[in-house]
A and B are shown apart, each in its own frame.
Chain A
Amino acid sequence: MIALLRRDLVLAVRAGGGFGLGLAFFLILVALVAFGVGPGGALLARIAPGILWVGALLACLLSLDRIFALDREDGSLELLATAPLPMEGIVSVKALAHWITTGLPLVVAAPLLGLMLSLPGPGYPWLFLSLLIGTPALSVIGTFGAALTVGLKRGGLLLSLIVLPLYVPVLIFGAEVARRGAEGQALQTPLLLLAGITCGTLALLPFASAAVLRVNLR
């Protein structure tokens, strides 16, 4: 399993764009929002937590279809399925690799981009924390979507259509934590709910992902 994780990370670095691409997309998105709504600092500051969360979510979505598609094309997915690794383990490692290459850079970069959107001072730690807690759930849910659509020729659009509604609760609670943090309100409830959703998806969704992957490999 560690070998698989290491291989995926090596591939992400060598294939180029593994770490950088999602991050660049995130930056462009934030810039486009600023262009779109105008440079007024007050408005940007108010919508900054939401924009950053939606941006992180879309950047995450961008790289989902690569989780299994490449392995499927070169046959290594079939070979992994016959290897002594449980399918649930393969799926979890894939999700972890996706989070390290996509989610983690976004978490680290988000406060920096918050600066560009004039996010109020108290918001930074909460933005960082909410993304840190929430993005693993995004990766795990996305892995489920990727496993669901791995056999399809034009799976990309379908993947977005299936995964985005599943992202709704994470987005709501995550953005709520960031918003309340920025406005200095009490945020224990959404924070706990966000953490609960993340723990729940981490614990249960790999089983569903493994099941659909087995079906797709048939």
Chain B
Amino acid sequence: MDMRVTDLSIARGGVPLLEGVSFALVPGQALILRGPNGSGKTTLLRTLAGLQPALAGTLTFDSESVAYGAHADGLKAQMTVAENLTFWAAVHGGADIAPALAAFDLQALRDRLAGALSAGQKRRLGLARLMVTGRALWLLDEPTVSLDAGSVALFAAAVRRHLAGGGMAVIATHIDLGLPEAAVLDLGPLKAALPQADDFDGAFL
């Protein structure tokens, strides 16, 4: 199953952000999204994840194959690391959590309450969640925020394993992830033009 996005236009709060976004991914490929703050990376990922409608364009992939990693990790402070992960595994069909814990070096923390983790540890737990979903397409929004160099390497290794297993990933990031094989899409030039005055009267945004 490959992923194809054609002429996608997106808007945030009624204001068009990007237009003419097109790319294609085949299993084993990753795409890095780049662009300054406010250029629409988060909105693009949310649109791909099916959380908000696109203004125009076509998406040819199953929204049931998407694992979305947002800014917030969706962790419950009152539950332990293992419980948090088990919950997400159960929601997605009950995968084993041990490999995910191992991949992000969380075994030692498995019985710690998530509320007692440091910011970097929480992030690692949030990323480990992706592995238990068993979904093919990872959509990641700034996944390396508050990770140290060692953890970024763990993350890069996890992404590489995912790709090797036939997965795909779309990652919005500013830093170098150490994934030289990934394609890069710069969103800067795709900034949406202002709507024409006439359309504007007709549709008012």
Interface on A for B, CB 8 Å cutoff? 2-4, 7, 10-11, 14-15, 71, 73-85, 217-218
Contact = CB atoms under 8 A, between A and B. Distances in A.
Given A84-B64, A84-B91, A217-B51, A11 B78 contact: yes
Interface stretch (B69-77, B167-175, B189-197): B69-77
A78 to B, nearest CB: 6
A80 B133 CA distance: 11
A81 B64 CA distance: 11
B78 to A, nearest CB: 4
Given A3-B87, A4-B91, A79 B74 contact: yes
A84 B88 CA distance: 11
A7 B50 contact: no
Contacts of B74: 71, 74-80
Nearest to B67: A82
Given A74-B74, A74-B76, A75-B73, A82 B49 contact: yes
A78 B51 CA distance: 8
A187 B87 CA distance: 45
A78 B72 contact: yes
B90 interface: yes
A77 B74 CA distance: 8
Contacts of A11: 76, 78-79
B71 A75 contact: yes
A191 B91 CA distance: 38
A14 B64 contact: no
A7 B53 contact: no
Contacts of A218: 51-53
B72 A3 contact: no
A153 to B, nearest CB: 16
B13 to A, nearest CB: 10
Given A3-B87, A15-B78, A74-B76, A84 B51 contact: no
Given A81-B51, A82-B68, A83-B92, A74 B75 contact: yes
B145 to A, nearest CB: 13
Nearest to B89: A3
B67, B73, B74, B133, most chain A CB atoms within 10 A: B74
Interface in B27-75: 49-53, 63-64, 66-68, 70-75
B93 interface: yes
Given A81-B51, A82-B51, 10 more contacts: A3-B86, A3-B91, A10-B79, A10-B83, A74-B74, A76-B72, A78-B70, A84-B64, A218-B51, A218-B53
B51 A85 contact: no
6 contacts: A3-B90, A10-B78, A73-B72, A74-B72, A75-B74, A80-B91
A208 to B, nearest CB: 19
B134 to A, nearest CB: 10
B50 A82 contact: yes
A188 to B, nearest CB: 43
Contacts of B133: 83
In the complex, the 10 A-B pairs of residues with the closest C-beta atoms, listed nearest first:
A75-B72, A3-B90, A76-B74, A14-B78, A79-B74, A75-B74, A218-B52, A82-B68, A83-B91, A7-B87
B76 A7 contact: yes
Contacts of B91: 3-4, 80, 83-85
Contacts of B87: 3-4, 7
A84 B70 contact: no
A14 B79 CA distance: 8
A74 B87 CA distance: 15
A99 B93 CA distance: 26
B76 to A, nearest CB: 6
Nearest to A78: B70
Contacts of A82: 49-51, 63, 66-68
Nearest to A214: B51
